[in-house]
């Protein structure tokens, strides 16, 4: 599994994942219906590493396009492309992130709690722990599971991923 997000640029963002977040075959919501804040658009750098760069762009009012590149990319370095959308569970925003590939029939979603500071210059992603063993058939089942467990400290990885706005 590739290290990413994030988000890359968010966020969105794969940004230097120190570990792999929980991977799901279903997203938290069946469709993208939560509008993202405009402050999430732009260029982002992981706070802990200066080697990667994320560009978050608008695909539409609900879906973000995230491109992860190396700052000093060589000709053979291929950018990683992701798409993401937000879900809300009891007022908490979550990022549903997936790598954009030619075969969208087998999407794998990576799930993060998303926090953006008031000035829109810092994004904090808290990945759901990879230690979740449950598999879900529907988004409704996954959302109910998150709602029941998101208040527990062990539900998220210990290390948050922080991104700073670069533009």
pLDDT > 60? residue 8: no
Domain assignment of residue 71, yes or no = yes
Domain assignment of residue 37, yes or no = yes
Section 123-149 average pLDDT: 96
**Which among 146, 157, 161 is positioned nearest to 94, based on CA atoms?**
146
Average pLDDT value for the chain: 87
Section 14-31 average pLDDT: 75
CA distance 93 to 69: 26
Q: Which CATH number fits the domain that encloses residue 45?
A: 2.40.128
Query: In this predicted model, what pLDDT tens digit does every residue of 145-155 receive, in sequence order?
Result: 999 999 998 99
Q: What global pTM score does this model have?
A: 0.84
Domain with 32 in it = 6-165
pLDDT > 60? residue 10: no
Higher pLDDT, 59 or 12: 59
Domain assignment of residue 133, yes or no = yes
What's residue 19's pLDDT? Answer: 56
Query: In this predicted model, what pLDDT tens digit does every residue of 66-122 receive, in sequence order?
Result: 999 988 878 888 899 999 999 999 999 999 999 987 766 678 999 999 999 999 999
Domain assignment of residue 1, yes or no = no
What's residue 4's pLDDT? Answer: 36
Domain assignment of residue 144, yes or no = yes
CA distance 163 to 143: 26
Total number of domains in the chain: 1
Query: In this predicted model, what pLDDT tens digit does every residue of 26-59 receive, in sequence order?
Result: 999 999 999 999 999 999 999 987 789 999 999 9
Three-class DSSP labels, the chain: CCCCCEEEEEEEEECCCCCCCCEECCCCCCCCCECCCHHHCEEEEECCCCCEEEEEEECCCCEEEEEEEECCCCCCCCCEEEEEEEEEECCEEEEEEEECCCCHHHCCEEEEEEEECCCCCEEEEEEECCCCCCCCCCHHHHHHHHHHHCCCHHHECCCCEEEEECC
Domain assignment of residue 102, yes or no = yes
What's residue 21's pLDDT? Answer: 81
């Amino acid at each position: 599994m590739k290290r990413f997000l994030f988000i890359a640029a968010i966020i969105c963002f794969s940004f230097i994942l120190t570990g792999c977040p929980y991977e799901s075959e279903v997203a938290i919501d069946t469709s993208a219906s939560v509008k993202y804040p405009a402050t999430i658009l732009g260029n982002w750098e992981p706070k802990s590493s200066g080697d990667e760069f994320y560009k978050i762009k608008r695909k539409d009012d609900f879906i973000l396009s995230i491109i992860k590149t190396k700052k000093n990319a060589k000709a053979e370095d291929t950018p990683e492309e992701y798409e993401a959308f937000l879900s809300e569970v009891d007022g908490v925003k979550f990022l549903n992130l997936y790598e954009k590939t030619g075969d969208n029939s087998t999407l794998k979603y990576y799930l993060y709690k998303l926090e953006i500071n008031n000035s829109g210059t810092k994004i904090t992603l808290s990945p759901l722990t990879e230690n979740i063993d449950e598999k879900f058939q529907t988004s409704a089942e996954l959302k109910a599971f998150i709602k029941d467990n998101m208040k527990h400290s062990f539900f998220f990885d210990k290390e948050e991923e922080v991104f700073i706005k670069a533009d």
